[in-house]
Amino acid sequence: MEKKTILSGIQATGSLTLGNYLGALNNWVEMQDKYDCYYMIADLHTLTIRNDPETLRENTLKLIALYVAAGLDPDKNTIFIQSHIPAHPALSWVLNCYTYMGELNRMTQFKDKSLKHADNINSGLFTYPVLMAADILAYNADLVPVGDDQKQHLEITRDIAERFNSIYGNTFKIPEVYIGKVGARIMGLQNPTSKMSKSAVDPMDKVLLTDSPDEIRKKFKKAVTDSENCVRYDVTNKPGVSNLMSIYGIIKNKSMEDIEKEFSGQGYGTFKTAVAEAVVERLEPLQKKYNELLENPDKLKAIYEKGDKKAKEKSDKLLKEVYKKIGLVVE
Ligand code: TYM
């Protein structure tokens, strides 16, 4: 039986957080044997905010290194750079013409980001979900593994695809969102009612995948909890402790009940230390591999060149089919 296709991506903006890792990357690694996987570096999406050009180039290569260091095997997965594949912006333009302003206006990420970047509410920020739809639909992806915050973008992708199919006949596969059972929304350590974000101003709120073991320990030690001093999963009343439990549960592959039992009668000090050590233990080998890869840019180039080639072949085919259906001259 033919393997199902997966596509996902991460923006090339600075160092990734533990949220990106546990909500996305970690799930991708588990899927690589079962599916035909396309994982891209979303560098075009990054242009919706102002970047230093040299830093963006560096971040793009760093992200490739991180994908591999996190466990994505470049021989099993197609790892590629979004801007290297002309079908993405081309299909995005076409899909823009099948997407309504009203739909884009409802996107909560657009509203959030407009508030954050009030001096630069550009139209790329507005049509951002359409480029994301093009990324996904260009590969006829069956499944899209993302964190909870991308769910709405998947819904609009499905709406656009269904609209197009209803006019021109079956063209796009309707993709399903894949969200992990736990870790879909890792929260900030200082503000556990908001998601852990790369752009958080307070460095203590986010754990970066490149943080040193001591930084990680310090951040977990200072993580906001509550006054009950009892390790119990209750997102509404104990968001801080519940978030730490989710982090620990994913890394140790333990249920919330198991964790409650493990730390029953013990205070938050012991629990926080255990969470920090679990994270350090997981990230240390990842960081080692990441640093090794960064010293070998030729290897990184070979990885994305191989991925680019395969991604281009697949997406060009679909773009041509779309062009034909809408009436463009295809040679
Ligand atoms: P980005 O770069 O913001 O985030 C990358 C992935 O990390 C997940 N994530 C989280 N998961 C759990 N807890 C958190 N605190 C947390 N923070 C981030 C995100 O849900 C995402 O899965 N638009 C996308 C990139 C993209 C894309 C695509 C994804 C572009 N094209 C096509 C899938 C398919 C984005 O900005 O993700």
pLDDT at residue 2 greater than cutoff 90: no
What is the residue with the minimal CA distance to atom 27 of ligand 1? 9
254 among known catalytic residues? no
In the residue annotation, 314 being an active-site residue is answered as no
Report which of 160, 191, 190, 186 is spatially closest to residue 175, judged by C-alpha positions: 160
Q: Angle 18-145-88 (CA atoms, 0-180°, nearest 5)?
A: 105
Q: Is 283 in the pocket of ligand 1 (CB under 6 A)?
A: no
Fold exhibited by the domain 203-291:
Tyrosyl-Transfer RNA Synthetase (1.10.240)
| Catalytic residue, candidates 113, 206, 238, 272 | 113
In the prediction, which pLDDT does 213 show?
A: 97
Give percent of the chain above pLDDT 70.
100
Q: Residue 15: pLDDT band by 50, 70, 90 thresholds?
A: confident
Tell me the pTM. 0.95
Instruction: Give the atom of ligand 1 at the shortest distance from the alpha carbon of 42.
Output: 30
198 is catalytic: yes
CATH number of 5-179+297-326: 3.40.50.620
Judge if the beta carbon of residue 195 lies within 6 A of ligand 1.
yes
User: In this predicted model, what pLDDT tens digit does every residue of 215-274 receive, in sequence order?
Assistant: 999 999 999 999 999 999 999 999 999 999 999 999 999 999 999 999 999 999 999 999
Q: How confident is the model at residue 1 (pLDDT cuts 50, 70, 90)?
A: confident
The yes-or-no verdict on residue 139 having pLDDT over 80 is yes
pLDDT in tens, 64-107: 999 999 999 999 999 999 999 999 999 999 999 999 999 999 99
Place of tokens 């959030």: 112
Nearest to 131 by CA among 20, 199, 40: 40
pLDDT of amino acid 311: 98
Fold match, 5-179+297-326 / 203-291:
no
Which of the listed residues 6, 20, 107 should we mutate to test ligand 1's pocket, taking the one with most ligand atoms within 8 A of CB? 20
What's the mean pLDDT when you consider all of the chain? 96
Backbone angles phi, psi at 144, to 5 degrees: -130, 100
Q: Please tell me the predicted confidence (pLDDT) of residue 56.
A: 97
Cα-Cα-Cα-Cα torsion 189, 192, 195, 199, nearest 10 degrees, comes to: -50
Residue ranges covered by each domain of the chain: 5-179+297-326, 203-291
Q: Indicate the length of the chain as a whole number.
A: 331
Question: CA separation (Å) from 74 to 31, 85, 95, 192, 305?
Answer: 13, 18, 30, 35, 11
**Distance, CA 25 to ligand 1 centroid (Å)?**
9
| Residue 181's pLDDT band (cuts 50, 70, 90) | confident
Confidence label for 199 from pLDDT (cuts 50, 70 and 90) = confident
